[in-house]
């Protein structure tokens, strides 16, 4: 446990009023509020206070923005719906769990399963009376939406390669271990969504000290990277962990702090930031050190401005060295110095067939923008995955690239799985375009309330435009990392992409360039307020220079960084 130590000397001299969200959390009785009562009435929506508390339960109140104006003109109420996010530690699922998710997509959602860049699952288009049945179905298969959103430690992500049958047992379980250690202990979710009413025999459980009655100032993200590749963008996290071996302390992790990519157009003091290596921790020390980080964040995070409430701003404002000293004070001991970070850290997309060390196989399947569905006259990915889960006791891994890896495939099942994918028009990795292969997008319109413009629905068109621009310049065989979001919150991590497209207005985007697959460099703003149809054209001069001046095998992000942009 964390020792009681003196607080930091960094004290604000300016008194500001806390946001209304802080008061809602404080009065919620540890995330209960009036949710149970409101779920029982016939109103399609919930109150604004319940909207805030529902987020902790993995539920976002939304409306269908495609019909918002039409309904307003007719004087009709909004088309109220909900998005439910299911936390999947490390993205690992059994076939029974996948089939349960598949069934829920039909029973209560819009018929699709959305894979996120944090290895979680989202259901869209759920109406209010579907929330409890979905929560109970998840609980029955050892899954939950609790803690997938809200001002808590979010879903812990981990590279699939750390979790295979042939992986080190401690690494296989690290995402689950950290999830259990940092999940809120309030039983509000169980009472409201699963049991229906609090059982008389159940006793209140004290909330974790690093949460308290108001929890964290904002969300908190943890990722565990593979020591040789960075598919999880470990430097973009509040806490990043990279497995390493210390010459004296033995096996453990380099621990990084203070990363985060979201920003706000309305607040010039917001910015993207990469994490700093803070220390090396052993397996026995990891929870204690992260808990000290959480307490520091809880006490010093900005609760007066949610746009500037993330931990990266605590580290930036306090200064990294002072922040590190703060952690040492709380722990009552000095931290070890971190080890050198990996030098070859390009992200693996995990696509295609591979043979594991234990003799089993795996296949990574591309999921365009993370949307698992059956397309009329096209790819029927959802049906293919359902059939595989019904026939074979494999393991599914959701990746931070919004794809799915079918792992633990016995040798005698490989041909059948290949045939299932082929017969459902699921394209093998060798047929994917070099931009299409790794392109990411957030859901954006019509469901996300934060979206300024389109992302997921227009990603295929943008991919086609950029692949066409590359092919016309003899660059068609070159890979290019593209990420697109409908707003600057950065859910698809465009701030570290080779090309990041970020929604600016209803019809324009800001274009960022110069990140890369290592995830160790922030992209730079290249052009502002570019209409969608002009994005590939605006990038044209950079593609011309890349073709003429780029070194052999030099990535676009590395080239742009080397020569600079104008």
For the residues of 145-160, what is the DSSP string, one character each?
Answer: -TTSSSSSB-PPEE-G
**Fold match flag (352-431 vs 436-563):** no
Contacts of 155 by beta carbon, 8 Å cutoff, 6+ apart: 87, 88, 89, 118, 119, 120, 147, 148, 179
| Residue 78, token pair as written in the block | 């909004």
Peptide bond before 446: cis, by omega within 30 degrees of 0?
Answer: yes
The whole-angstrom separation of Cα 47 and Cα 80 is: 12
Strand arrangement of the beta sheet that strand 121-126 belongs to: 59-63, 80-86, 121-126, 113-115, 371-372
* Dihedral, CA of residue 541, residue 542, residue 545 and residue 547, to nearest 10: -110
- What pTM value is reported for the model? 0.95
Q: What is the pLDDT of residue 343?
A: 85
3-state helix, strand, coil in the chain (%, to 5): 35, 20, 45
DSSP SS3 for 563: helix
What is d(CA 59, CA 180) in angstroms, rounded to the nearest whole number? Answer: 20
- pLDDT value of position 197: 53
Residue 126 phi/psi, 5-degree rounding, is: -85, 135
**Distance in angstroms (rounded) separating the CA atoms of residues 153 and 217:** 11
Instruction: Tell me the residue length of the chain.
Output: 566
If one counts every other C-beta atom within 10 angstroms of the C-beta of residue 208, the result is: 18
d(CA 137, CA 141): 7
Name the CATH architecture for the domain at 436-563: 2-Layer Sandwich (3.30)
pLDDT of residue 164: 87
- Distance from C-alpha of 125 to C-alpha of 293, rounded to nearest angstrom: 36
Strand partners, 224: 158, 241
Domain positions in the chain: 352-431, 436-563
Neighbours of 520 (CB within 10 A): 18
pLDDT means over runs of 10, the chain (566 residues): 38 74 98 97 97 98 95 94 98 98 98 98 98 97 98 98 90 97 97 72 76 97 97 98 97 98 94 98 98 98 97 98 98 98 92 95 97 97 98 98 97 98 98 97 96 98 98 95 97 98 97 96 98 98 97 95 91
Helix axes 381-391 and 414-423, enclosed angle (nearest 10)? 160
pLDDT of residue 16: 87
Q: On the CB side of 126, how many CA atoms lie within 13 Å of its CA?
A: 28
Report the C-alpha gap between 438 and 486 in whole angstroms: 18
Q: Which CATH class is domain 352-431?
A: alpha beta
Tokens of 520: 């160790």
**What is the CA angle 383-385-387, rounded to 5?**
70
């Amino acid at each position: 446990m964390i020792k009681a130590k003196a607080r930091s000397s960094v004290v604000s001299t300016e008194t500001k009023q806390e946001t209304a969200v802080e008061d809602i959390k404080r009065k919620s009785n540890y995330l209960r509020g009036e949710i149970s009562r409101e779920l029982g009435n016939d109103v399609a929506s919930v109150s604004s206070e319940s909207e805030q508390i529902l987020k902790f339960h993995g539920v976002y109140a939304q409306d269908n923005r495609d019909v918002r104006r039409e309904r307003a003109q007719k004087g009709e109420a909004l088309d109220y719906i909900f998005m439910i996010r299911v936390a999947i530690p490390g993205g690992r699922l059994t076939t029974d769990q996948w089939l349960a998710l598949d069934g829920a997509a039909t029973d209560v959602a819009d018929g699709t399963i959305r894979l996120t860049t944090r290895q979680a699952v989202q259901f869209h288009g759920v109406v209010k009376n579907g929330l409890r049945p979905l929560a109970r179905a998840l609980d029955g298969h050892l899954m939950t939406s609790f803690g997938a959103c809200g001002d808590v430690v979010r879903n812990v992500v981990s590279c699939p390669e750390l979790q295979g049958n042939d992986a080190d047992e401690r690494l296989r379980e690290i995402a689950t271990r950290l999830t259990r250690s940092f999940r809120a202990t309030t039983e509000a979710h169980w009472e409201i969504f699963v049991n229906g009413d609090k059982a008389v025999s159940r006793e209140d459980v004290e909330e974790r000290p690093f949460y308290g009655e108001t929890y964290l100032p904002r969300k908190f993200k943890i990722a565990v990277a593979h020591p040789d590749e960075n598919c999880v963008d470990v430097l973009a996290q509040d806490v990043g962990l990279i497995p390493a071996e210390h010459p004296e302390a033995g096996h453990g992790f380099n621990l990084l702090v203070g990363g985060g990519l979201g920003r706000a157009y309305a607040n010039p003091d917001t910015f993207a930031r990469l994490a700093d290596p803070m220390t090396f921790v052993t397996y026995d020390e990891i929870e204690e050190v992260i808990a000290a980080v959480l307490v520091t964040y809880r006490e010093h995070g900005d609760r007066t401005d949610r746009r500037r409430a993330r931990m990266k701003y605590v580290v930036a404002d306090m200064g990294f060295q002072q922040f590190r000293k703060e952690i040492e004070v709380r722990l009552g001991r000095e931290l070890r110095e971190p080890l050198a970070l990996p030098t070859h850290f390009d992200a693996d997309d995990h696509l295609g067939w591979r043979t594991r060390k234990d003799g089993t196989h795996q296949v990574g399947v591309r999921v365009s923008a993370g949307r698992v569905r059956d397309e009329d006259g096209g790819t029927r990915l959802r049906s293919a995955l359902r059939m595989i889960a019904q026939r074979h006791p494999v393991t599914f891994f959701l990746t931070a690239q919004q794809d799915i890896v079918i792992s633990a495939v016995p040798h005698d099942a490989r041909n059948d799985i290949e045939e299932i994918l082929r017969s459902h028009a699921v394209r093998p990795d060798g047929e994917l375009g070099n931009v299409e292969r790794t392109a990411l997008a957030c859901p954006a319109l019509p469901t996300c309330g934060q979206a300024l413009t389109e992302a997921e629905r227009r990603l295929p068109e943008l991919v086609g435009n950029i692949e066409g621009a590359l092919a016309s310049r003899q660059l068609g065989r070159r890979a290019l990392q593209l990420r697109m979001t409908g707003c600057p919150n950065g859910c698809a991590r465009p701030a570290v992409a080779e090309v990041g497209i970020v929604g600016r207005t209803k019809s324009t985007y800001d274009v960022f360039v110069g990140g890369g697959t290592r995830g160790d460099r922030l992209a730079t703003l290249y052009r502002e307020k570019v209409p969608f149809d002009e994005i590939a054209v605006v990038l044209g001069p950079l593609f011309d220079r890349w073709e003429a001046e780029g070194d052999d095998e030099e990535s676009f992000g590395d080239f742009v960084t080397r020569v600079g942009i104008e």
